Structure 1
Amino acid sequence: MTEKEKLLEDKDEIKNLRKNRILQSAFTFFSEKGIDTIAMTDIAKDAEIGVASLYRYYETKDEIAIKTAMWAWENQKEDIMPEIESADYEVKTGLEQLDFIFGKFVKLFENAPDFLRFIYFFDSYAVRTKIAQERLVDYEKMIGTVQEVVSKAINKGIEDGSIDKKYAKDEEKLYFTTMHSLFSTAQKLTLNKNMLSIDSKTNGAEQLALLAKILIAGIKA
């Protein structure tokens, strides 16, 4: 490697570190206060970067919100995929794989409530501000990797007989119904916390674990 190449590599590394710092700052703000109330100057100040420099990386708040959403999903993917790709996971039945994935929602609720809040705020912001679908293509692809993993488990379960074969023609519906149920419940529990006195009577993680069991029991062969 020449000195020039090394210099360019160092610059790229600094640039990537700076981008990561910006997205971390944006994520922290957005997950705590929503997206609408946060200004680009807030992010720039927290990330210790000039506002002009921030706009060179991300021209609008819409853009930084989208990139933050992809960054957040990627972080979650990096956390779970090693287990999904392990030999222990591979030998499970389709229903067991699905049960394992559902269990991850409980862990997500316990360990990453900020992620759940952020995704709720981002989805609401994207709908309210009418972000064009073509701008969300890469974001959709990121979520699509999750659908691929879950759908693979569902299809395996139908084939190996661990999931009721009556769902053989409804794999996609089964994916959306189960995932939306778990994700929406996890988000509601994260956002509301103990808003009412009755909310404190049942542990949120226990509610999610029970929901997962109900869903698994409902599709079991």
Structure 2
Amino acid sequence: MLTETDRGMCMQAAEKRRLEQEMLKAERIRHIIECSFGLFADKGIETISMNEIANQAEIGVASLYRYFSTKEDLAIEAAIYAWKIEEDLFNKAFSFEGYDDLNGYDQLSSMLDIFTDALATQSSFFRFVNYFDAFIKREKVSLGRLTKYEEAITGLKDIVVCAIKKGRKDGSISFGGKKDSELAKASDDEIYFTVMHSLFSLAQKLSLSGEMLNMNMEVRPEKQMNLAIRFFLEALK
């Protein structure tokens, strides 16, 4: 007959095994998502089969389907994973010492400049987002399925909008002093979406075909991105 001490030790051992199994499962899922992201970013989502993903992740196809019943499920999780990685990159733009002391314009400038670095180091992210947008449109993925994906994007919006609000309040964002201009009358959200969608679209274009034609080599992708950022910042200043 087991004593209270023995029962306690058995329960602890069982709990330890359960936690280890959960950690192992989480690691496997993350590995599958990472492999999927790499394949999707390189070749697109439509062209990749579940068999290819299983081979890349070095697991059986049956095991893959136990974790993700459809490629749609896997694509959405890969998109969430990609945005979280990108969010970490953007976090560097506002997590450094002295950021809070900057005026709103300089805070916004610090964040937008990340696009130039991201284009050089994270081109796979922009390619993936382009393929993912096309995939969810083609497959008619419901908005309800994209809730977690949208939540992953929202954090960046809040930070950028705060910088715009601060700039308007401290006067560093004054739209060239033209208070009655259409730009000055635009809401913070309107400015955010216009700027960010434009820069993301440019980044996607450059990451996909920036060096496809000889004429594209006349101005380096990073230079084009930097100029686009300067256009927006000068208009807001």
Aligned residues of 1:94 and 1:157 also touching (Cα < 8 A): yes
CA RMSD of aligned residues (A): 1.4
- Aligned pairs (5 A) from 1:19-168: 19-164=29-174, 166=179, 167=184
Aligned residues of 1:158 and 1:168 also touching (Cα < 8 A): no
CA distance in 2, matches of 1:2, 1:100: 49
CA distance in 1, matches of 2:122, 2:157: 20
1:18-68 per-position Cα deviation (integer Å, ceiling 9, x unaligned): 111101110011001100010111101110111111111111011100000
Q: Which residue of 1 aligns with 2:209?
A: 192
Question: Which one is further off, 147-156 or 74-83?
Answer: 74-83
Matched residue count: 220
Give unpaired runs (5+ residues) of structure 1.
Answer: none
Aligned residues of 2:111 and 2:160 also touching (Cα < 8 A): yes
Q: CA deviation at 1:85?
A: 3.1
Q: TM-score, normalised by structure 2?
A: 0.89
Percent of residue pairs bearing the same amino acid type:
36
Of residues 142, 159, 183 in structure 1, which corresponds to 2:200? Answer: 183
Q: CA deviation at 1:87?
A: 3.3
Of residues 212, 217, 220 in structure 1, which corresponds to 2:234? Answer: 217
Q: Highest CA radius of gyration, 1 or 2?
A: 2
1:151-192 per-position Cα deviation (integer Å, ceiling 9, x unaligned): 111111111111127436511110011101111111111111
The one-letter amino acid paired with 2:153 is I
Q: Which residue of 2 aligns with 1:16?
A: 26
1:116-140 per-position Cα deviation (integer Å, ceiling 9, x unaligned): 0000000111011100001001111
Secondary structure of the corresponding residue to residue 28 of structure 1: helix
Aligned residues of 1:27 and 1:118 also touching (Cα < 8 A): yes
Give unpaired runs (5+ residues) of structure 2.
Answer: 1-10
Change (3 A) 1:208 1:169: closer
